[in-house]
Amino acid sequence: MASPSLVPERIARADDPTSPAEDHVAFGLDRRNISDVLDSVESLSDIEETSYAWNLRTDHIDWEPNAMSVLGISDPAKIATGHAFQSLIVHEHVNRRSEAIFGKVSSERVRGVPYRTQYRLIPNASTVHDSFHLEDQGRWWPGVDGRPEYAQGVLRVTNAHYMQEQRCLHAADFDELTGQLNRIRLTQALASVLETAISDKTTCGLLIVAINNLGIINSTYGFDAGDEAITAVGRRMNAKLRETDVLGRYASNKFAVVMKDCGPGALRLGAERFMKAVRDHSISTSVGPLAITVSVGGVVIPDQATTVQQSIDCALRALDRAKSKRFECFMPYEINTDIDFARHRSKAIADDVIAAIDNHRMQLALQPLVNAKTGQPEIYECLLRMKNSSGQVVSAGEFIPIAEQLGLSRLVDRRTLELAVELLKQHQDMTLSINVSGLTCTDHAWLLALQKLTGMRRDILSRIIIEITETAALQDIDQSINFVDMLKDLGCRVAIDDFGAGYTSFKNLKLLNVDMVKIDGAFVKNLAEDASDQMFIKTMIELAKNFGMETVAEWVGDEKTIELLTDAGITYLQGFHYGQPFAAEDYKPGT
């Protein structure tokens, strides 16, 4: 067990009056009880073990004389410091040791703080197949700041006694299907390699490899065959790894390879090696041989990415470029200023949208729908506006498309509904038209919110018109029919917006049983000069009348257009000819 030589000089001589008194108080130890601390850890007869004393101030480790033999280390420098020892731990387990010892702050300076963890060690830069598991158990003592300054512990090489526990550890580390590292451990390994590369001023690489035709295999032969293909690809890639490479399964059809000491050239060679290993021979499965190819995207880090998430994002973007080709290929990450600017802008807008909803900075503007016969506004369309963090008002066209792309449209639609219902309660003479996204057409929670906000009052619900775009309505016609029916049961009216911009079908329009058709402005803006638009408008108005539907012409900009639309029998007119949209708080009844 531990010998006096394990103890740093300042601890071993704690009874020396010339020794600093604070050292003795800090750790509460002397020469007599060091062995007691190490002996307090339960010994197991069927495993090899060694002990250590670690000065965390200097990072120096003193070992029991048998340490190199137990750990299979040929060079004592490999375990002389904590940093050197940590480099022998497999990348995916580095955090285990760090979290066990450095993950806490304590004031316990007498008894110390116990720790226990397990990890895998690769001695002498051997391959991962020569690795073995260690149990690391001991205590650490804090300095005046509460953080670890000194540790003593025992390392045990675990054998059959720990097989069950190791199986559990394996399940936590490895993907069940392929036997490769799972996504969690893979990202931890990447973090470790990246940290080392930054510290040592070297470069490494990340490849993400995607099976190109897995979807076709699944749909044609079944998911079992697809799983066999995934497993076989993993095996072939594993056989082509360098000793220092780390392979893991990133997603259903994607593997990732972390490559140490790797520049652009080595990254490309690695990608080509993996593509060739998969491509050159068919893969045997239970349904017969399958021809598989892969596409690869890669990034050099930290040159092109300095964090784990950034590295993965860059590799995935490179993979997208590779998959856009009609054949298997490797694509390295390339900085694209325009794409990066667009991504940053989209993220900033998304953050602004969420903050504006949370901080009640969303506002309504109103645009009138004028009765073509009377010339008086009867309905007002709700147009959402957002005040950004600097107080500037942003129109919906600048943030709604991005909000829809990023899945925020449900939140936006819910806030629009809240503002609209509040306005309807204030003005008993007002009728509002509210736009909803395609996602909201399938959102039962939005319908429940409509009922709750209105209190199921018919005098409010009857003054609400819900607008659905034609393309969104026809994406899932059955779901849209159900949504429209539920709205009409509540007493609302329903309009199809931008009609004519998508796959126009009056048959589907009839199935939806809507009350109003809003003709896309593209057919209206040049109506006075375009005879084909005039014919199209007349046809749509006539067909809508036959279905018992009202019609609205958008983008009305001049008197000649108004005359043509009125003669064709349009019900409502909407556009800048009747003025710009105005803030909802400026609404005055009868205007």
Among candidates 582, 530, 527, which has minimal Cα distance to 553? Answer: 527
pLDDT the model gives residue 311: 95
What would be the CATH architecture of the domain defined by 174-335?
Answer: 2-Layer Sandwich (3.30)
pLDDT the model gives residue 204: 95
Helices (H), 20-125: 21-27, 34-39, 67-71, 82-86, 94-102
pLDDT the model gives residue 39: 44
In 10 A of CB 362, how many CB atoms? 20
Query: Which class is 360-585 in CATH?
Result: alpha beta
Q: What percent of the chain has pLDDT over 70?
A: 86
Structural domain boundaries of the chain? 4-171, 174-335, 360-585
* DSSP E strand boundaries for 58-176: 60-63, 113-121, 132-142, 148-157
pLDDT the model gives residue 169: 59
* pLDDT lower than 70: segments of the chain: 1-47, 125-130, 159-172, 337, 501-507, 590-591
In 10 A of CB 23, how many CB atoms? 17
How many residues are given for the chain?
591
Q: What is the pLDDT of residues 327-337, one digit of tens each?
A: 899 999 988 76
pLDDT the model gives residue 502: 56
Positive/negative CA dihedral, 274, 277, 282, 288: negative
Per-residue tokens: 436:
């909803």
pLDDT the model gives residue 166: 56
pLDDT the model gives residue 412: 92
pLDDT the model gives residue 347: 82
Strand partners, 393: 387
Q: Is 465 exposed, middle or buried (0-12, 13-18, 19+ CB in 10 A)?
A: buried
Burial 341-355 (b: 16+ CB within 10 A, else e): eeeeebeebbebbee
Query: Which class is 4-171 in CATH?
Result: alpha beta
Burial 48-70 (b: 16+ CB within 10 A, else e): bbbbbbbbbeeeebbbbeebbeb
Q: Is 562 exposed, middle or buried (0-12, 13-18, 19+ CB in 10 A)?
A: buried
